[in-house]
A and B are shown apart, each in its own frame.
Chain A
Amino acid sequence: MIREAKRVAAYRASVAAENARDTAIRQANAQIAASQAAAREADRSVWDRAVGVLSSVVTAQVGDSKCSSLAGLAYLGFSGGVNCQYNQFQYYDADPRGTLGDIGSMLKGEAKGAIHFIGGLSPIPDAINTVKCIAGGWSGMQECVADKRAEITQLWDSAKDYYVRSQHVNQLVLQVFTGDASVGDVWDEGYQLVRDYTFGSTLDASRAGDYDKCGQGASATILTVGSIVVPGVEGVGLSSAGLRNTTVATNASRATHTVVVSAGRATEIEGAAGVAHLDRVAGPARSTDLVLGSFRALGKGRNAHVRTVGSVDELRETFNAWSVGAELLAPRGPKITDVYRLPDGGIIQWRTSSASGGPSIDIFPVNGRQRTVHLIDGVQG
């Protein structure tokens, strides 16, 4: 009996030891898995995280529009591949407008409140070609068809993984269409946020009042440049990755866009979660030289010191862009209602009447004659 008891005890001890060993192994495996998950999480690119944040923006802001979930648009937008780190000629070489035109067709009629975002890629020829092919697969989509989303997602995932792995993703663009014009119209006019940068410059140089070149000679003026605030995550968020909230107005008065652009190569976003807050924020004031640079890009008037625009709305958008961040002065009578002083002492003012008819913008440099922006002939103020 004693011998049997010892044998049973030994057996139980061995089972217990084995169980303990199994537990230890399971715990070790769990730790390894957790560690690997943490490592994967740590390795997630800014693109992954930003996509997560911006997807929530898409879902939250698209609201009751026809496409109640525009997750697919994020992927679609990716195909746009706007790369503002390179000048427009390289951009067009790499990404023909037809691709973006398809996007426009898809969104047409749903511009207001629609959101999509675009990931910029380093312009490596074969990489761009890959993206272009992906876009081609969606070109027939006229709306957010549910059965297409899986395809889009799959394409996106494969492309994203490749680009993230290859470290080619270098920026993120979110476009929020707040105007009434349909996106199709805008794209058809060649509206694309393609900065006329010199080679190698970055979006760090983005300033309100800058004058952006667009697809077919149309133009857009940046109204504001600011930071992106992620509520509840003070001090961190998209801004920490160099993202900027930029409000852009097309000079063709077609629509106003709020565009988030990144400045240079993205870095890791820590703690970015929730819904990005996309209210307008004022950017830094422009110098008179910058304003005059923008002035010179407008349509020529009768005299060298006169430029013209096509509508009162366009004139006002231009004025708003130039006056961002400037010091507001008192009106100069009933006809000169808005007066701003630029940091270098130059003055820009909104005049509600002129000898030529409609309102005008007056620019008074400290060292130079007045410049004026009028409506083009025949347009009533």
Chain B
Amino acid sequence: MNEEQIIRELLISGLTDWVPLHDVVWHCTEGVISDQSRNRILRVLHRLYADGLVVPGDLGETGFEDWRTSPDTWVERSADELERLGWQPMGAGFWLRLTPAGTQLARASEEPDG
């Protein structure tokens, strides 16, 4: 999958439920962790954040709790968390929720002609 396809896949998944970090890693690496695939993960996350399609967060007491820090810091924070998890989160780490813009794009992507 190219990065466009990965973003599309993640957004469509997000229509059903929050997207786990595991899926971002899997789609970007397909099980092969390398410098190249790590960079790919961060590029995809950057695009999702920068385009305002998703918000990262943690599953806390109230449910999905958005990261309250500036979006400018999200990629770096994501990288730190991935590093902590050895780039194999397996269900651990943060999750992604769709923004209205992300939801709109995901629905458009779902349609055959979209």
Contacts and interface: CB of A to CB of B under 8 A. Distances in A.
Interface in A305-364: 305-306, 332-336, 339, 345, 347, 349, 351, 353-356, 360, 362, 364
Nearest to B89: A364
B29 to A, nearest CB: 11
A301 interface: yes
B17 interface: yes
Contact of A364 (B13, B14, B90): B90
A370 B16 CA distance: 13
Nearest to B92: A332
Interface string A130-165: 000000000000000000000000000000000000
B91 A355 contact: no
A364 B20 contact: yes
A302 B106 CA distance: 13
A362 B20 contact: yes
A355 B59 contact: no
- The secondary structure that dominates the A interface is loop
B46 interface: no
A334 to B, nearest CB: 5
Contacts of B20: 362, 364, 370
Contact of A303 (B16, B22, B27): B16
Nearest to A335: B59
B45 to A, nearest CB: 16
Interface in B1-47: 12-18, 20, 22-23, 26-27, 31
A219 interface: no
Interface residues of A, number: 29
A100 B90 CA distance: 45
A336 B17 contact: no
B72 interface: no
A369 interface: yes
Contact of B91 (A303, A305, A362): A362
A198 interface: no
Contacts, number: 67
A336 B91 contact: yes
A213 interface: no
A355 B92 contact: no
A62 B14 CA distance: 51
A369 B63 contact: no
Contacts of A301: 16
B60 A302 contact: no
Contact of A349 (B14, B15, B17, B91): B91
A166 interface: no
Contacts of B61: 334
A368 B59 contact: no
A370 B92 CA distance: 12
A374 B17 contact: yes
Nearest to A336: B59
B16 A302 contact: yes
A225 to B, nearest CB: 26
A369 B16 contact: no
B18 A369 contact: no
Contacts of A355: 14, 16-18, 64, 97
B10 to A, nearest CB: 10
A372 interface: yes
A369 B59 contact: no
Top-5 shortest CB links A-B: A335-B59, A364-B91, A355-B17, A347-B90, A364-B90
30 contacts: A301-B16, A302-B15, A302-B16, A303-B16, A305-B13, A306-B16, A332-B91, A332-B92, A333-B58, A334-B60, A335-B60, A336-B59, A339-B91, A347-B90, A347-B91, A351-B59, A353-B63, A354-B17, A355-B14, A355-B16, A355-B18, A355-B64, A356-B17, A360-B17, A366-B31, A368-B26, A369-B23, A369-B26, A369-B27, A374-B17
Interface of B: 12-18, 20, 22-23, 26-27, 31, 58-61, 63-64, 90-92, 97
Interface of A: 301-303, 305-306, 332-336, 339, 345, 347, 349, 351, 353-356, 360, 362, 364, 366-370, 372, 374
